[in-house]
Every structure is written in C-alpha cells, then in structure tokens.
Structure 1
Amino acid sequence: MDMHWCVGLMTGTVLDGNIDVALLRTDGEGVAEFGPYALDPYDEDTRAILPRCLSAALDWNFDGPEPAIFAVAEERITRAQSAAVARLVAEAGLAMSDIAAVGFHGQTVLHRAPVGGRPGRTRQLGDGGLMAQLLGVRVVHDFRNADMAAGGQGAPLSAIYHGALLDSLGGGTGTAILNLGGVANVTACDGAGGLVAFDTGPANAPINDFVRSRGLGEMDRDGRLAAAGRVDTARLRQALGHPYLKQAYPKSLDRFDFGHDWAAPLSDADGAATLTAFTAAAVGRGLDLLPVRPARLIVCGGGRRNPTLLKMLGTFAEVTVETAEAVGWEGDATEAQCFAYLAMRRLRNLPGSFPSTTGAAAPTLAGRIATAA
C-alpha cells in the first residue's frame, strides 16, 4: 500500500493543558516516517473549562441529559485542535490537501468499563463533523464506542500502533511498551504472534491531583517532591490489595478509579512518594499477568519525564526501563501518532481493536469518518 500523511491528535486525562498533535506517514500497517509534532497549549479559557467538565461528568455518570457545559467545551476543543492541526501542517511545508485524514480522539471526560455483563460507556468531547468542515479533510473520530458496543473495554486503543513500533525493533516478548498518561497502559507480545494490552493502574492523575490538593502546583515536576519523601510501605501494601490489580485482562480504567485520598494523612513529600511507588508497583503487578513477563519497558507519555517514577519502576516493577527517546521515538508524540495511524487504518477498513487488547468479541473498526462535503 502507498504511504500517506495523516495527523493525529490527543489530549489526555491528566489535563496538562496541551494539545498533542503529530504527523505520521503510514499505510495503517507500517510506518514510513515520523513527521513533526507539537505540544500546542490551549488558551486560558479552554484550560479552565476542562476540570469543570470532568467534575460535571462525575456528577452525571451517564444518567440523564448530558451537562450543558459539554456542548460549550466540545466546540472550544474542536476549534482549538483544528487550529493546532492547521498550524502543524503549514509549518511542515504541507497543504491540507496532502493529508489523507486527521485522527481526532477528543477529550475523555468519563469512561466506565463493562462490569458483570453490563456494557461499558465512554464519552469524549469533540465534534468530528465540525473539524472536517473547518479543515476541509476527512476526520476520523469517536474511536472507542464501536469497540464498547462489541463488548470491549474501549481501551487501550494504542496496542496496534505500539505493535508496529515493537516490530520495528525486532519484536519479541522481552520488550513491552508502557504509556504513562493519566492512567498507565502496557502493550506486549503474547509469544504466539499476537498482542496483549490493558491498563495496569493509575499513572500521573492521582499524583497530580494530590499535588494540586496541597496547593503545590499542577504536578510533581521532575518527581522532585516524591524524591524528597519516604514511601509509607504499610499504606502501599494495603493499596496493592485493590482487586483491579489481580483482575484478568482485558481491563481498563477511568482516571478517577484510583484516587489519592488514601495518602491524605501523609506529608506532602511522603504522600507524593507513596503515590508514585503505587503507580510503579501496579505496573509490576500488571507485568506479572502477561503470558511472558518482559524484562524491558520502553516508556512513553508524560510520566517518562518523572525520573523518580522511572527509578521506582525499576525497583517496584523489577524491570529495566528506557524512555522512548532512547530507541529513537518521541515520547511526547507517541499517543498523537497512534491516532494518525488508527485514522489510516479506518480509511482502509482495518480493525483498530481486538479481543486480546480490549476484549471485543471480534476485531473491530475504530472510529467514524466525517467528511468536509
């Protein structure tokens, strides 16, 4: 197949205020070229509305009419991300006519996994039709709902792209990819030519929420607060008894499924250290579930910038840790690249999710296509 330029977009549940936008040249199976990428910040008003959407989503919980704030935020998000795409394409010396499709994930405000035969539900804010009109190109959006309708978790969707990246390194079961966003998810080879993927537990979200609750900023930047603290091993041991960590995959999480309240009695530094250790140890429990436990993790996502977390991964997950950059990838762009890749797969009617990665009953197309016409 011919390789085409696609643009991918991602804004994570960690709410760092940035739009991740990346160009990728792909046929939806292989990757020919990593293009430019950007972390394009939202304006102040859009940044301010996102936490309000998350709070409203928790109150709503898929019961009754959607909160009115969703419609307001959806238009703001769509226009801001459309502008980010147009800027990146222009700066790359391309025209929109050179772009086969844009993969527009949208902003997740609530995700509920299937439980006891009850189908899961998910909501991402983003208007694919509006973006297609604004940019004049095909936009693939609403990536998760078809999977959930097929009995899947709706997450993680990164597995097929991560599999392509692992193939570029020679594949094998010894290496897995770990994404550290609001939650953590792992993709690994199953030893029989297939892929396994699932959310291992929390990543940055509880740590960031804890730091905000103490009035210490938006995040534990560079893991400095955690590095100054001591892990409360008794609390950590108790937290590791959470049933999710023993649950068989496929499985997925919402950013609020693991909170930080259990660390509330601790000091600022000790609370950050203990929450960080929990993220690392939960990854280790996840690796224990894999058919073959990898010895090496390649880490992408914002959490790879936290050296304390990376060090704790080595200690508590008992694994060798490398960042995406160490193998020639760009960790800030990986998730956005994934949705460019998924957009191309959707154009070719190739599945984006699988029974072994989300639990869907069969391989499932990921995304709906909106056109400018």
Structure 2
Amino acid sequence: MIRALGMMSGTSLDGVNAAMIETDGEKIGGFGDSAFRAFSDNEAAVLHAALGSWQDAPCVPEAARLVQDSHADLARRFPQAQVVGFHGQTLAHDPRGRGTHQAGSGVELARAIDRPVVWDFRSEDVRQGGEGAPLVPFFHWACAEWAVGQGHLPAAPVAFLNLGGVGNISWVDPTASAPHLDSACVAFDTGPANAPLNDLMRERLHRTRDEGGALATSGQADRAILADFLAHPYFARPAPKSLDRDQFAGLADAVRSLEVADAAATLVAAMSGSVASGMQWLPRGCSQVLVCGGGRHNVAMMAALNHDLGIPVRPVETIGLDGDMLEAQAFGWMAVRVMRGLPVSGPMTTGAPAPVCGGRISHPR
C-alpha cells in the first residue's frame, strides 16, 4: 500500500481540500488525516475572474500561481505522503471544442513540495474522445467495495451523488471485479449544483453560500423558470455526458428578477429536478443515493432530493465515509492508479472508446 495525498479545488471556489489515503490503486487500505485551506475573498475573486478562460488568457498566470501556491502550502502539512494527486482548478471545460483546462502546473508543485505529483488527469481522456468528466466514479466503486467489506452496505448497486459546483452521479455495482468493466460503473454530470447558488449569494448578499439552506427553505421556487430549465436538451442526452460550470448561465439570468429567497429556492429545485431527470440513464435501480460534497450540508437540497427521487437520500457519512474529503481522497487513489498504469476513466463514465489511464507524473527533479 502507498500513502497518497489527494488534493481538490472544486468549482464552488471555496478552497482546497487535502486528504490522505492508503491504497494500491485498487483496494482502499485506510483513510488518514485531512485538512482544508479556504480561499480568501480576494483569492476567490482572482479565480472567479479566470473562469471560462483558456491557457492563453492574460488572467490565467495569476490564477495558476494562486492554485499552485495554495496547494503547496497545504501539501507541506502532510510530510508522510509518498505521492500527491493534484487536480488543479478547472477554469474551462469544452471536450468537443478546445478541450479541458485545469490551472496549475504539477511540475512546479512537485518542485515546491519535493515529492512526486500526478496531475492533468482529464486531458488524455478528452484526447481519446471522452468527456474528461466525471473522474471520481471509479473511486466511488472502490468506496462501495470498501463499505461492503466493512459491513456498511449490502452487496448491491448504489448511487453516489456529488454536489459540488456541478452535480455528478455514479451508479456503481461493488460486486463487479474491476471499476472499468461496463457492468461496474455508469456516471455523468447531472446539472448545476452549488455554483449558481453560491454565485447568487455573492452577488446579492455578499456571502459565500446559503448556510444550511436557510434562505432557500424560506422561499418558493418559480415553476415556470424550472420547467424552462428542465426543457434544456442536455437532459435528453443519454449518459455519459459532462458540463462546464457556466453551461447553464441562463438559469442565473432567469432568477435575477426574483426575490433572493425565491431565487435560491428555484436554484435548489433546479438542482434536484436535474438529478431526478438523470435517474432515467442509470442501468437499473439502486437502493439509495449517497450524497457527498458541500451540497449535503444544505437542508433544502437534501429535502428536495428526498422528495423528487422517491428513494432514500443520505449523506455518505452513513456508510463511514467523509463527504467533505471524498473527492480529495479520490485523486490520491487515482494518483496511485496512474503510477501503476491502471485506467481512471472509461466508456461508461466519460464516453471514451476504451479505458483510459490519464494523468501525468512529475518528479521533483
């Protein structure tokens, strides 16, 4: 087993998560320490200004330096890590156009922390014809297998729903012998999750989030806006499929005329409605949906999902996992897979024609 540190900075732009995991790139041997480094208001503003930008944009170097420095600061707290999985900060994602862009250099990070860094996980998948996202489903499969072994889950299909800036769902069968088999995983981005709600709070109330979902709970969703949103052709596309953070910018425009509580309630309903719409693309039923990411702390989001999905929706903590650190742990696990030449994506998760071992390995010297 290798002691790996995974690091993740999501599209919600709140900060960097880092978490240790012991793994051989297949089995999970155990979980370790974790930490979070918040972005200051000024740092979040730098990253927000760079959203949608490609490598040649003048704002990107400053954003990339911020990403590298913030990750290096956090990585130095984990001297026990033998390798670091570094996702970087997604600024733009257009797999059928210019590709995918995660700001931050693994080469520079490896030099700064004097340890090997595995990074650029998405580009090879896109080059081979995949969507480049979502990348966490193979790890969700490993988590389900681990939870079955711990007695926390039955040996049957289950769905993981990650509510970050964008939502994504992974249907996994832990009885399959490997995650890249077609029978093991199906995954796709469901729609916007926390990003439009966080943006609304910044724009209207100068807050970073709707804490606990209190504002959304007090509002009423606009059903006309919701119906127009769910008529978007993305929801009629079969899986696998992926989204850019700002692909549904029209939704933010549509709620601008609403009172802020009603706007928040509409955005929560849009998130839940998009997940409910996506359930049709799962290969067969599952007993429950396990929620990770910041959205599981939002009471309004969890209530809407329980209502709209019609099956139990629970935080991943109910099966012994850490929903705040799951994505960070995933990139530690994937770093070891890349070092071993094992695939991190495949036809049923990103639409790539064959399993793909993406990622680059950079050494300190």
Per the TM superposition, whether the score is higher than 0.5 is: yes
Is the 2:168–2:189 Cα contact (8 Å) retained in structure 1?
yes
Deviation at 1:274, TM superposition (A): 1.1
| One of 133, 151, 168 as aligned partner of 1:185 | 168
Is the 1:138–1:371 Cα contact (8 Å) retained in structure 2?
yes
Deviations 1:69-110 (A, max 9, x none): 2112212221221120111x15xxx3xxxx331000000001
Deviations 1:145-171 (A, max 9, x none): 000000000000001100101112336
User: Which residue matches 1:7?
Assistant: 5
2:307 is the counterpart of 1:331: no
- Counterpart secondary structure, 2:349: coil
| One of 42, 63, 66 as aligned partner of 1:73 | 63
Structure 2 unmatched runs, 5+: 149-153, 177-181
2:139 is the counterpart of 1:175: no
Deviation at 1:30, TM superposition (A): 0.6
| One of 193, 196, 203 as aligned partner of 1:203 | 193
User: Which residue matches 2:204?
Assistant: 214
| One of 151, 155, 174 as aligned partner of 2:133 | 155
| One of 64, 73, 87 as aligned partner of 1:105 | 87
Q: Residue type matched to 2:8 in 1? A: M
Is the 2:13–2:39 Cα contact (8 Å) retained in structure 1?
no
User: Which residue matches 1:253?
Assistant: 243
| One of 293, 312, 327 as aligned partner of 2:285 | 293
Aligned pairs for 1:252-291 (under 5 A) are 252-259=242-249, 260-291=252-283
2:111 is the counterpart of 1:133: yes
Is the 1:113–1:253 Cα contact (8 Å) retained in structure 2?
no
Deviations 1:5-52 (A, max 9, x none): 000110001111x11001000000011111011111235543331111
Is the 1:100–1:344 Cα contact (8 Å) retained in structure 2?
no
> How many residue pairs were aligned?
351
Distance 1:21 1:46 in 2: 18
Distance 1:283 1:137 in 2: 39
Distance 2:300 2:314 in 1: 13
Structure 1 unmatched runs, 5+: none
TM-score of the superposition, structure 2-length normalised?
A: 0.92
Q: Residue type matched to 1:29 in 2? A: E
2:304 is the counterpart of 1:312: yes
Distance 1:25 1:250 in 2: 29
Is the 1:173–1:293 Cα contact (8 Å) retained in structure 2?
no
Distance 1:291 1:45 in 2: 44
Is the 1:147–1:153 Cα contact (8 Å) retained in structure 2?
yes
Deviation at 1:68, TM superposition (A): 2.1
User: Which residue matches 2:17?
Assistant: 20
Distance 1:272 1:79 in 2: 33
Distance 2:9 2:127 in 1: 23
Deviation at 1:271, TM superposition (A): 1.1
Distance 2:170 2:322 in 1: 17
| One of 243, 253, 258 as aligned partner of 2:233 | 243
User: Which residue matches 1:42?
Assistant: 39
Deviation at 1:291, TM superposition (A): 1.1
User: Which residue matches 1:144?
Assistant: 122
User: Which residue matches 2:215?
Assistant: 225
Deviation at 1:316, TM superposition (A): 1.7
Deviation at 1:234, TM superposition (A): 2.7
